[in-house]
Amino acid sequence: LSFDNELTSREVACLYLAANGKTSDQTAKLLGLTKSTIETFRKRIIQKLDCDNLTQAVFKGIKVGCLAQKRIYEDSINFADL
């Protein structure tokens, strides 16, 4: 499977926000979710991308292109808040 198919749109949004330095709290607020949900998403992202930590997952996401702007669902993130 490709990385695009493995990550859900919410997981991609979480990874994108992590790549932009957002904390779990900030990401939760931007996406209208709880911090616990964001932390679960982050754990799944790390597992799905076969990484050891979020920093490595962000790098891998950039490398394989799953963080390309076209892949981010604009209705998932209020970009004005970034």
- pLDDT (tens digit per residue) in 13-26: 999 999 999 999 99
Give yes or no for residue 30 having a pLDDT over 80. yes
Percent of the chain with pLDDT strictly greater than 70: 76
Candidates 36, 38, 29, 35; CA nearest to 11 is 38
**What does pTM read for this prediction?**
0.79
Write out the H or E segment, with its range, that includes residue 25: helix 24-31
